């Protein structure tokens, strides 16, 4: 099974290796954030199974996806599991690889450009500009359960040390993460919201940490979006 990163949406951001794997696949299991344009590289005879939340359906249970991949692989299919962005940045790629390997299936992982990096580039933000940042943190706003919920105050303190914060799945938790980050960062800290990065539907807004909730409402921005917080956004055109 190939776990393949489909990138953030723009098919030109696919790697050559991803295209080669998609072309070779006889079965493709496709996440909902994977753009249709990427599927044009699939063989006409390939079986394409959408396992996302498309059309408002509930997302396919993870166990079902893992069983389906396993069954197809053991039956001799060339299986490509196409995931948005990079397969190992959020999105459960690690769980899927572990489950397949536990059943003796060989897994190849093909990197994709992760949404956070594409979002930053699309608005011209150099995430580690050395005048402003020593590094970058990729974090999820959506914890697996309460016990693993992030301490946003601690993350804010790290950001105040010069680490740019890139938050995936943060829109639904925006009020909470804003409150926590404000414990350590000034309300004037620049913040960007980038929705549908790298696609024709891309929209973005440049605001401040203090203005996050107002901007989300006013600009009607929602998932899928990445939030970027830090001084590397200073000087960007609105």
- Among the options 10, 17, 31, 151, which is catalytic? 31
Q: Which is nearer to ligand SAH, 46 or 193 (CB)?
A: 193
Q: Which is nearer to ligand SAH, 58 or 130 (CB)?
A: 58
- Among the options 10, 83, 86, 169, which is catalytic? 169
Which residue of the chain is nearest ligand SAH when measured via CB? Answer: 85
- Per-residue DSSP letters for 127-168? TT-TTT-SEEEEEESS-SSGGG---HHHHHHHHHTTEEEEEE
Radius of gyration of the chain measured on its C-alpha atoms = 19
- Among the options 36, 53, 131, 151, which is catalytic? 53
Q: Does 32 participate in catalysis according to the annotation? A: no
Q: Does 169 participate in catalysis according to the annotation? A: yes
- Which pairs with CB-CB distance under 8 Å and at least 24 residues apart come from 128-131? 128/164, 128/232, 129/232
Chain residues in the site for ligand SAH (CB under 6 A): 8-9, 33, 83-86, 89-91, 114-115, 119, 168-169, 194-199, 223-226
Nearest CA to 85 among 42, 138, 43? 138
Q: How far is the CB of 75 from ligand SAH (least distance, A)?
A: 27
Helix/strand/coil for 214: helix
Q: Which is nearer to ligand SAH, 85 or 156 (CB)?
A: 85
State the Cα–Cα distance between residues 215 and 209, nearest whole angstrom: 10
Enzyme catalytic residues = 31, 53, 169
């Amino acid at each position: 099974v190939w776990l393949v990163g489909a990138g953030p949406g723009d098919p030109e951001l696919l790697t050559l290796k991803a295209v080669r794997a998609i072309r070779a696949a006889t079965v493709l299991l496709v996440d909902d954030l994977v753009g249709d344009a990427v599927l044009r590289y699939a063989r006409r005879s390939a079986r394409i199974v959408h396992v996302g939340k498309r059309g408002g359906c509930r997302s396919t249970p993870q166990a079902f996806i893992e069983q389906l991949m396993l069954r197809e692989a053991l039956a001799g299919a060339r299986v490509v599991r196409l995931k948005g962005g990079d397969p190992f940045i959020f999105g459960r790629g690690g769980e899927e690889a572990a489950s397949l390997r536990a059943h003796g299936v060989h897994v190849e992982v093909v990197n994709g450009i992760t949404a956070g990096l594409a979002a930053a580039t699309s608005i011209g933000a150099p995430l580690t500009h050395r005048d402003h940042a020593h590094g970058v943190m990729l974090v999820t706003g959506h914890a697996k359960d309460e016990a693993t919920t992030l301490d946003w105050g601690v993350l804010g303190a790290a950001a105040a040390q010069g680490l740019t914060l890139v938050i995936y799945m943060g829109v639904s938790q925006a009020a909470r993460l804003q409150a926590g980050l404000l414990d350590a960062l000034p309300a004037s800290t620049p913040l960007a919201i980038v929705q549908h990065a790298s696609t024709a539907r891309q929209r973005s807004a440049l605001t401040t940490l203090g203005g996050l909730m107002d901007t989300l409402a006013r600009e009607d921005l929602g998932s899928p979006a990445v939030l970027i917080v830090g001084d590397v956004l200073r000087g960007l055109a609105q």
